[in-house]
Structure 1
């Protein structure tokens, strides 16, 4: 299971993507490596390539 941090409607619910990510990271006391993995999960879930096309 891949966990991601999202921001559906920041104007309505408050909390833009960066604020949501920072709160999530602080609350769970994540390491830099865990935070990096969390961020990469979002790219992978969105099907964004994580490496240059060959």
Structure 2
């Protein structure tokens, strides 16, 4: 993922998410540090009628 503003929010006009359709191989002699985050929204508990 490329976070242009570095704000940990997904801005669809600027940020990019990429996917590949094959497995990747990680080195076995290294420590891999994944940083995962989930965007928090203000929509929790609000009823939406479409």
Scaled to the shorter chain, the TM-score interval is under 0.3
* Structure with the bigger percentage of helix: 1
The structure whose RCO (Cα within 8 Å, separation 6+) is larger is: 1
User: What TM-score comes out, normalization by structure 2 length?
Assistant: 0.22
User: What TM-score comes out, normalization by structure 1 length?
Assistant: 0.21
Structure of larger gyration radius: 2
